[in-house]
Structures are given as C-alpha cells and as structure tokens.
Structure 1
Amino acid sequence: MLQTAATIIRSSRRLVVLTGAGCSVDAGVPDFRSPSGWWRQINPQTVATVEALEGNYELFHAFYSARINHLKQVTPHMGHDVLGGWEQAGRIQLIATQNVDGLHQLAGNKQVEELHGSIRSFRCQRCSEPAKEEAFLVGEACRCGGRLRPDVVLFGEGLPQQAWNAALQAIEAADAVLVIGTSLQVYPANQLPYMTKGKLLLINKEETGSEHRFGCFLQGGAEELLLQLDKLV
C-alpha cells in the first residue's frame, strides 16, 4: 500500500494536501479533541466558543494563552519538512489545513489555506482591528473597548470564505488529494476530499470509518509515513 501511495504522489501533477490535528501531534501539539489532549480536563468545545469569549473571558483567555505559550516550544517535525520540500519541488499545489498552529508555513510551505484561521494573529472581537500577540497575552482591551482574541474559527463560527473557496477550487481541480491526520468528523472541512475527481489517499493513526472512500489508506503517524513516502517518490 505504501508503494501504491508513492506511485500516485509521484505521478500526480495537481496534488492537494488536507491536514488535521493528527499532522501536528508528532510535533508535540495536543489534538485538543480527545480527552488525553484536553486542557485542564475541559472539553475545548465548551471554551473555544463565542459564548466563552463573551461570557467567560477569563477562561477563554487562559485557554488560548496556554496554547500560544505551548506553541512557542514547538517546531515542525520532519514530516512537515517533507511537505515543505514537496511544494518547493513543484509536487504540491496547495495545503488546506484545519490546524491553526502555522507549522506548515514554518516548514517552508507558502501555498497554505488555513480553514480554521490562525492562532498566530489576533484581532478585536468588536471592531476586528488587528492586534499584537503580546497585547492579547497581557489581557489588554482594544482601544474601542472590545476584547482581543486569536484569529481562529471558534465553534459555531463560519469558515473564512476566501480560504474555503481557494481550497475547494484546488481540490476540484486536483488529480490526487492526500488527507493527513484528520478523523473527518468536523463539518464542512470533512466534505472537501469528496469534492475531487482525483485519487484519494488517507494517512491517519486510527481508522475513521471512511477508509472505504479512499483508494489508499496508510495507518500510522504522519511524520513516520511521510518520511517513508518521501524515500519512494
């Protein structure tokens, strides 16, 4: 199966990659969706929300401050570097990621669409004026009086339209889509792989229940399998 995947990637001329939390776990980023990754044993679906931002800002701020400070200790893993090298070699057309950590860009990828925003940029919830990370971390308010927040998509918010449209356009034109590290549970990003007429490949540590929809399923960690594929393509 590994050789089959490598052959598809090697022969592809319009490869698009869709990544989820599992792609960053090998770099030391908690997935925040499983109980083992929860912060203070709190389900992020109860704190990464507009309701928490507006009604329990102290908890919201503590949660995102912890994530931001943790990311300062994280660097891309070698699988990220493989994807960066593939783009530089002209092999990857686009990475559409559900991750907000910016690790793809740190690994050298430039063609990245962040479907769930970025935790590395900030803005005011009230007036949308851009803000600095330090201002958020120390708890400053915007000059309009509004609360500062990371520029991420909170539960219940819509995806950034420009990123979604760019990802959809690339996937519709792709001859192969490589999905890495996602359970394919989060709507609407979980629908993207099925918008292509190209070949579908999946890398994930656990079965997702959707393997039958993929021509090739490689079960394992993102870093290890990307390194193995890189030797074959």
Structure 2
Amino acid sequence: MAHPSIVILTGAGISAESGLGTFRDEGGLWAQHRIEDVATPEGFARNPQLVVDFYNARRAQAATATPNAGHVALARLQAEHQGDVTLVTQNVDDLHEKAGSSDVIHMHGALNSALCRACDHRWPAPLEMRVGGVCPSCAAPRARPDIVWFGEIPYHMERIERALAAADIFAAIGTSGNVYPAAGFVQMATHIGAKTVEMNLDPGETVALFEDTRPGKASQTVPAWVDEILG
C-alpha cells in the first residue's frame, strides 16, 4: 500500500519521557491526590480550589516540558507521509504541538484551555486559573479547566470514529489500554482490517489484540517505526 491512512493514539507514556508524570508514578502530582477529588465533576463541586490548584500545577509543569524524539517523529510523519495521518491524544499537554504536529485531536481536553460551564465557550487558560474565573464571552464566573474528567464524554468522538473507519494502520503509543472508549479503538481498527501496532514501555491491557507489539521507550520505538513507514 503506497499511501496508507494512519490513525495514531498517544497516551501518558509518550509524555513521561519528557518529565510529565502518569497516574502510576510514585511521588508525582497524581500520587498526592485521589482521582475522585481532582478528576471528576463531583470533586470540582466539592472543592473547586483543590481542583484548580491541581491543574495549575500540571499546567506549570507542562509549560516547561520539551518534546522528546517520539513527539518529533510523529510530527515528521504528519509532515512527510503522503496519506492521511490522524493524531489523537489522551494527553492534555501540548508536547505534540511543540514538536510541530498540527491538528492534534485532544480527546481528553487541554491544560492550556479554559471552559465556561454556563455557555461552553473556550478560551486560552492563564498559567494560573482561579476559582470563579469570568468567561470572556458571557461574563459568567463559571470557568473550569477544559479537561474531560472521569464520568464525562471524551471530545471529538465522531471525528475519531470516522478516521478509524477509514484506517489502514492503527498505532497506539504509550497508552495503558484500560480507559474506554480509547481502549476499544484497536477493536474498531481490527474489525475493518487495519494493521495494528502497539508501542509501550510495558504491555497495555489490550496488548493481545494487536498484531504487532514493540516494547520499549517511545523515544526509541516511535522514530524507528516512522522510518519504516516513510521508507
């Protein structure tokens, strides 16, 4: 196949090499908080200051992070591959964009975006958001981090599913495969006959569903895979 259509899903593992912690890291931001307290609508309702402070800390951390060779390789694939390359990320950082990727689909939202709970307007988040921040569109004091929390529906699902339905290759990079709906992407891709590849430091929950698995750091496995695709 000369110019295959490619769909790529990235998760926390690709950003971990740039110093951004995952859920499982000991001593990191996530280890200091319960998911129920900082990553659910109910947690925000109970203690909005805790949630805003948590994402302010994550935003400050992400602002100083730099993309690694995995991010750079995917940006090169987007730029040089003559077929479609749809880049979907579960990550809320902007390391793909910093590496040069364009039109990144952030299915779980973005740290650098704020959302109005009154009118759904979005705008660039300040480095430090505050509780009761005012929406620049409707003036309601109802700003929140533009993050998809547990119990909420991921963004852009229709667009992602359209891309998967036309995919010749599906690659999952640095994702555990235990959070739906993203965990089901490999099954969707397999159903339509796409080739599937997983690149992970440790095997994900859905590793058995992939026909090709490449263990190791994303900074090593992803550039090698991109070289193969580009020939």
TM-score bracket relative to the smaller structure:
0.7 to 0.9
The 1:176–1:131 alpha-carbon spacing in structure 2 relative to 1, beyond 3 Å, is closer
Counterpart residue number, 1:97: 89
Counterpart residue number, 2:206: 210
Counterpart residue number, 1:4: none
- Contact residue 136 and residue 148 of structure 1 kept, 8 A: no
TM-score, normalised by the number of residues in structure 2: 0.86
Residue 209 of structure 1 and its aligned partner are, at CA, apart by 3.8
The 1:203–1:12 alpha-carbon spacing in structure 2 relative to 1, beyond 3 Å, is farther
Counterpart residue number, 1:14: 5
Relative to structure 2, which stretch is displaced further, 121-130 or 22-31?
121-130
- Give SS of 2:32's match: coil
Pick aligned residue for 1:114 from 100, 106, 111: 106
What CA distance in whole angstroms lies between the structure 2 residues aligned with 1:131 and 1:171?
29
Counterpart residue number, 2:167: 174
Structure 2 stretches of 5 or more lacking a match? Answer: none
Amino acid at match of 2:69: M
What CA distance in whole angstroms lies between the structure 1 residues aligned with 2:2 and 2:217?
23
What CA distance in whole angstroms lies between the structure 2 residues aligned with 1:230 and 1:129?
37
Note if 1:127 corresponds to 2:119: yes
- Contact residue 116 and residue 122 of structure 2 kept, 8 A: yes
The 1:63–1:169 alpha-carbon spacing in structure 2 relative to 1, beyond 3 Å, is same
The 1:130–1:112 alpha-carbon spacing in structure 2 relative to 1, beyond 3 Å, is closer
- Give SS of 1:120's match: strand
Relative to structure 2, which stretch is displaced further, 190-199 or 85-94?
85-94
- Contact residue 3 and residue 81 of structure 2 kept, 8 A: no
Pick aligned residue for 1:137 from 129, 139, 145: 129
RMSD of aligned alpha carbons: 2.2
What is the identity percentage for the equivalent residue pairs of Structure 1 and Structure 2?
31
Residue 34 of structure 1 and its aligned partner are, at CA, apart by 4.5
- Give SS of 2:133's match: coil
What CA distance in whole angstroms lies between the structure 2 residues aligned with 1:181 and 1:34?
14
Relative to structure 2, which stretch is displaced further, 39-48 or 93-102?
39-48
- Give SS of 2:64's match: coil
Residue 63 of structure 1 and its aligned partner are, at CA, apart by 0.3
After superposition, give the CA deviation of every residue in 1:28-75 in whole Å (9 maximum; x if it has no partner).
111134545444621334311111222201111110110011111101
Amino acid at match of 2:21: P
Pick aligned residue for 1:150 from 142, 145, 150: 145
After superposition, give the CA deviation of every residue in 1:182-217 in whole Å (9 maximum; x if it has no partner).
111111111112112201100111122422211111
The 1:86–1:132 alpha-carbon spacing in structure 2 relative to 1, beyond 3 Å, is closer
After superposition, give the CA deviation of every residue in 1:127-156 in whole Å (9 maximum; x if it has no partner).
333344228535552164433222110111
Note if 1:81 corresponds to 2:72: yes
The 1:142–1:111 alpha-carbon spacing in structure 2 relative to 1, beyond 3 Å, is closer
- Contact residue 89 and residue 105 of structure 2 kept, 8 A: yes
What CA distance in whole angstroms lies between the structure 1 residues aligned with 2:201 and 2:23?
16
Structure 1 stretches of 5 or more lacking a match? Answer: 1-9
The 1:61–1:85 alpha-carbon spacing in structure 2 relative to 1, beyond 3 Å, is same
* Number of positions where the alignment pairs a residue of Structure 1 with one of Structure 2: 222
- Contact residue 17 and residue 180 of structure 1 kept, 8 A: yes
After superposition, give the CA deviation of every residue in 1:95-134 in whole Å (9 maximum; x if it has no partner).
1111111221221221321111111111222333334422
Relative to structure 2, which stretch is displaced further, 180-189 or 201-210?
201-210
